[in-house]
Amino acid sequence: MHSRVQRPQPPMTTRKLLVVDDMDSIRTLVAAIGRDAGFEVHQANNGEQALFACQTLGVDIVICDQNMPKMNGEGFIARLRETDKDTPVVLLTGETDRDKIATLVGLGINGFIRKPFKPEHIYQVLDSVKGRAAAG
């Protein structure tokens, strides 16, 4: 009888999630959900920090608030899309103004989650990104 040698599996690439919100409680909750879903999580509390993180970390998805100090979600998305048209950006917002939402869609957001949200909504967004990565 001979024993089978198991070959180590190649490490799975960890996907990077950037959570951008000026409210610590929201950022912490979304980050915990991201870690639970298997993402390496990074955080920023405004659009300026988020832009820097995207440029230096190479994130796979951004979940971003709209209303933040220094640079809001709209400003961040506009600046990001100048150099990066591919990274999925999902807006996490309490925004209800249809014109504002239309403007944000025009900037290239990939979806939005309305506040208040249920954790399942975040999991669904993250699962769709992981599914695209596995197919790609």
Q: Are the C-beta atoms of 115 and 90 separated by less than 8 Å?
A: no
The C-alpha atoms of residue 117 and residue 19 are separated, in whole angstroms, by: 15
**C-alpha closest to that of 73 among 30, 98, 107, 102:** 107
So what's the pLDDT on residue 127? 86
What SS3 state is found at 38?
coil
The C-alpha atoms of residue 74 and residue 91 are separated, in whole angstroms, by: 9
Per-residue pLDDT tens over the stretch 53-101: 999 999 999 999 999 999 999 999 999 999 999 999 999 988 888 898 8
- E-assigned strand segments in the chain: 16-20, 40-44, 61-65, 89-93, 111-114
Does 33 or 14 have the greater pLDDT score?
Answer: 33
Per-residue pLDDT tens over the stretch 29-55: 999 999 999 999 999 999 999 999 999
So what's the pLDDT on residue 129? 72
Superfamily of 16-135 according to CATH: Response regulator (3.40.50.2300)
4-8: average pLDDT: 52
What residues form DSSP beta bridges with 43? 19
The C-alpha atoms of residue 132 and residue 136 are separated, in whole angstroms, by: 6
Where exactly are the structural domains of the chain?
16-135
